[in-house]
Structure 1
Amino acid sequence: MKTSSSSSSFSKALYHLVVTVLAVCQGVHSMPVPTDVPMCTASEPAQYSLTFSGRWTQAAFPKQYPVYRPPAQWSNLIGVTHSSDFHMWQRNEFASNGVREFAEKGEAWTLMKEVETAGERIQSVYGSSPLPAVMGGTGQMHTEFEVFARHSYLSFVVRLVPSPDWFVGVDSIDLCDGDRWKESVSLELFPYDAGTDSGFTFSSPNFETIPQDKITQITSSFPNHPANSFFYPRLKHLPPIAKVTLTKIKKTNQIISLPVEPTQSNQLPTGNEIEEALINTPLDCEVSVWSPWGLCKGKCGDSGVQHRTRYILMHPANNGAACPLLEEERKCFPDNCL
């Protein structure tokens, strides 16, 4: 866990990078925009409010749910508004070094430098700078930003803490619809694997993936391994682990709003979010393989009994299948009788 001093240093570094990127973007000349995608023709910029809501509850995700050192929580949010020819990250593509460092360690410096070098394809960069942003699996964080017609796309990433290299986010959602800005957008978010660390569980030690894999969405059956923290073979789909809501707000003269301090609470979101968050995912009992049969115990010449055992790997939750018998016996005849 980072100390408060390192969190403060990160916040200052993020702030200075925001200012630097804005200065760079305002000082470069226009470049052609690709013509193979719909063009935004909105005459005026728009301001949006972004609300990120965590839904990472023990009821919805009971398997190996992190309860301490550290408990389930969310990192800060790093986002950009950009043109159609830029991608912060893409599903089924390799993660950049910046995305890798952020997904594995929550370190944003390299990612911010990558954004800076993207030049005029980026309009602005923003984020929620305190680390961690939400001190529990549930809770909310907010920020505001402004978009222009030539940079009408939004991308962001938020890391799951703890995790090997898992994150949620949005890749290049267009907030413009022809000559109009969308009034509101709500998206349910699911976990992604950055493809840079081979850990299966939330608390897995660092185990670099060589060669690096592409970014993939984690599902209830992928990776198809019982050790996977998101492996729920009874489910067709995982429940959403987070949600983002984008709402168009009244324009002000402010070009970019530095982030509002996020909620620091383990409490469930208020309003309709409560009902949505209370998802109970059944978790079946998991047991080990049987041990070898033990010695045959009995008198020579008579049948005896031998036993074998197994143990519980995962206790059931939320009305999941109960554990089977953990001990078996069978008749046998003692060997080596004299």
Structure 2
Amino acid sequence: MYIKWLLILLTAVRLARGQPGRCDQTPPMAAATAASENKDIYHLNIIQNDRPMEGKIHYTPDQTYVLKITTSNLTRPFKWFMMTAEDPDVDDKIYEFGAKTLDVGVLKTLDSSETRYSERCFNSVEAAKSTDKSDIEIHWVSPKQSEVKDHKVRIRVTVAENNEAWYEGENLTLVLYKDNKKSPDSPPYPPRKTCNLCSEARYEVIFNGKWSRVAHPRFYPSKPDENGYSHMIGASHGYDYYLWLQGSSAGMGIKDLAETNNTTLLEDDIIANMKEKSGTRTLIRGKRRHHPHMAKPSHALFRVDRYHHMFSIAVGMRPSPDWFLGTSRFELCTDHGWLLESERPMYPWDAGTMNGVSYESEPTLTKPVDTIERVEIGSFNKDSPFYQMNLNDLKAFAMLTVRRLDVYPLPNSECTVEGEEQQPGEVEEEPVEEGDKEDEEEPEEPVVGESRLNLNDPTSCSLSEWGSWSPCTPVDDVCGDGFRTRARYRGDRTTKHESFDYQVTQQARPLSTNCEGDQDAKLVEYQNCFVDCYKIARLQ
């Protein structure tokens, strides 16, 4: 008896919410049991740039599209409609209760007085009242990104002219195909587990901010004098390490950078993971930029090798709930040699730790913590800067350029000799030596700390005395609370075996080695400090 009542209850729920099979869109007021011939009067289109899309239509995952039902004859409006997003193979499928269905995206009603969500079919919207309509708009948010390459969605519409005539079919049905092209901010090459290039390379990475009232006018911060980017923080690293990753939870370093623009924890993590044949190699650190200098470039130098052949960076945005810009696992090792040059636009990412819909939203703690995802583009919240906006329509918040400067052959390495061939679509440039660039701003922060030690030499594993403390670096750049560092080094710096390569302005941050016994010894120490704002004001 209990099972019988349970089945009745489940059946009632299914009937109330609609079944996952093909939706019966027969109008409830229809006197005719079959649809009439449309004769090219009623149409369903996807509108882009105020014009219907034609031909085979491709959609980008997790984007907003405008679906529009129109009549080509204004003397023949329609009184009722129903729109359904569905699996194109639904006609031939038999669904078991509880079976996982295809992600077909979400239909969104725009006018609650004219439209409503259907109670008899899944993923369906219908007319709320029988009034004459010459056109109606419904927004569709496409399916989330997935591994399915041949993902298709069918949008099917029925319209009723009156109780006697209703229409469906070719002009009122669209099949949409997933666009498998990478998003414009994706790195040009996928990460690779191994790199067999017999060389090291030196790169420059440049972050050019583009966030402005002109480019991003909707809900631009009301106090632009408080706008700013954090330091550009990143690392060259191996396949086993990631600074941040879409779909994964943010580490404490990314959380702190995204919420407060503090980079200390992220730098500590990069330094702690410095290893000879895995983890990180170079700490990337570029200048922070505040209004009105946010358009000035922030740049840094770094090195890569066959073990550390990719790089990642992150830049915090202020104000924002927990948004940041960056790139993750950017591969530089290719079949043609080290990548020559690449430029990519940058769009905001959401760290998933704080709730907030706009730049100046009062943030609240996200419970439970979400994963790192792109900031909700195409949001249906009218308080969002990205309200009903596609990624293709959004202007870049920054441009990131990575450029190869030098290549250093390693003839004795156990690897495959690569060909330094010109890559398709790229321009070979003459190697740029330091000092050759006119008016280039010198980095004011530690750029790279790395060592190349002779591990067969016992003196390479010895630790030097601590160096002197660096000047105090205020968190806010000018004065107030800050930190300073001091470092020591592996190896006897007076012996002929020493071959450290540092580019230092304030304090070097050396790369640890795999020396036994003292592998975990600390090479860099931090200390809190304070710069007196009153004294600075008097000096100025």
User: Which residue, 58, 78, 95 being the options, matches 2:250?
Assistant: 95
In the other structure, the counterpart of 2:7 is none
1:126 matched to 2:281: no
AA at the equivalent of 1:226: K
The structure-2 alpha-carbon separation of the partners of 1:174 and 1:254, relative to structure 1 and needing over 3 Å to count, comes to: farther
Aligned residue pairs: how many? 222
Determine which structure has greater relative contact order: mean sequence separation of CA pairs < 8 Å that are 6+ residues apart, divided by chain length: 1
1:180 matched to 2:341: no
The structure-2 alpha-carbon separation of the partners of 1:196 and 1:178, relative to structure 1 and needing over 3 Å to count, comes to: same
State the distance in 2 between where 1:51 and 1:155 align: 13
Aligned to 1:138, the other structure's residue is in SS state coil
Give the CA deviation at 1:64. 1.4
In the other structure, the counterpart of 1:230 is 386
AA at the equivalent of 1:155: S
User: Which residue, 242, 249, 252 being the options, matches 2:398?
Assistant: 242
Aligned to 1:250, the other structure's residue is in SS state strand
1:62 matched to 2:217: yes
State the distance in 1 between where 2:397 and 2:316 align: 12
Aligned to 2:361, the other structure's residue is in SS state coil
In the other structure, the counterpart of 1:79 is 234
Give the CA deviation at 1:256. 5.3
State the distance in 1 between where 2:210 and 2:318 align: 13
1:1-338 aligned at under 5 Å gives the runs 37-68=192-223, 70-120=225-275, 121-129=279-287, 131-132=288-289, 135-178=292-335, 180-222=337-379, 224-233=380-389, 236-250=392-406, 255=501, 257=503
Q: TM-score, normalised by structure 1?
A: 0.60
AA at the equivalent of 2:281: Q
The structure-2 alpha-carbon separation of the partners of 1:175 and 1:233, relative to structure 1 and needing over 3 Å to count, comes to: closer
| 1:55-102 per-position Cα deviation (integer Å, ceiling 9, x unaligned) | 112122101112526443211100101001111000111101111011
User: Is the contact between residue 227 and residue 290 of structure 2 (CA under 8 Å) also seen in structure 1?
Assistant: no
Give the CA deviation at 1:139. 2.6
User: Is the contact between residue 71 and residue 136 of structure 1 (CA under 8 Å) also seen in structure 2?
Assistant: no
Give the CA deviation at 1:206. 3.3
Unpaired stretches in structure 2, ≥5 consecutive residues: 1-190, 408-498, 507-540
User: Is the contact between residue 73 and residue 161 of structure 1 (CA under 8 Å) also seen in structure 2?
Assistant: yes
User: Is the contact between residue 134 and residue 140 of structure 1 (CA under 8 Å) also seen in structure 2?
Assistant: no
State the distance in 2 between where 1:216 and 1:63 align: 21
AA at the equivalent of 1:198: N
Aligned to 2:268, the other structure's residue is in SS state helix
The structure-2 alpha-carbon separation of the partners of 1:38 and 1:94, relative to structure 1 and needing over 3 Å to count, comes to: closer
State the distance in 2 between where 1:235 and 1:106 align: 25
Name whichever structure is richer in helix by fraction.
1
The structure-2 alpha-carbon separation of the partners of 1:167 and 1:235, relative to structure 1 and needing over 3 Å to count, comes to: closer
User: Is the contact between residue 320 and residue 360 of structure 2 (CA under 8 Å) also seen in structure 1?
Assistant: yes
Give the CA deviation at 1:117. 3.3
State the distance in 2 between where 1:155 and 1:148 align: 15
User: Is the contact between residue 89 and residue 95 of structure 1 (CA under 8 Å) also seen in structure 2?
Assistant: yes
State the distance in 2 between where 1:97 and 1:175 align: 27
State the distance in 2 between where 1:254 and 1:47 align: 15
- Higher mean displacement: 234-243 or 166-175: 234-243
In the other structure, the counterpart of 1:22 is none
State the distance in 2 between where 1:154 and 1:221 align: 29
State the distance in 1 between where 2:384 and 2:282 align: 37
State the distance in 1 between where 2:378 and 2:286 align: 32
AA at the equivalent of 2:314: V
The structure-2 alpha-carbon separation of the partners of 1:41 and 1:187, relative to structure 1 and needing over 3 Å to count, comes to: same
The structure-2 alpha-carbon separation of the partners of 1:92 and 1:234, relative to structure 1 and needing over 3 Å to count, comes to: closer
Structural RMSD (CA): 2.6
State the distance in 2 between where 1:209 and 1:225 align: 18
Unpaired stretches in structure 1, ≥5 consecutive residues: 1-35, 261-338
Give the CA deviation at 1:235. 7.0
Give the CA deviation at 1:179. 6.1
| 1:215-274 per-position Cα deviation (integer Å, ceiling 9, x unaligned) | 11025314x3111123244775422111111111135x99454589xxxxxxxxxxxxxx
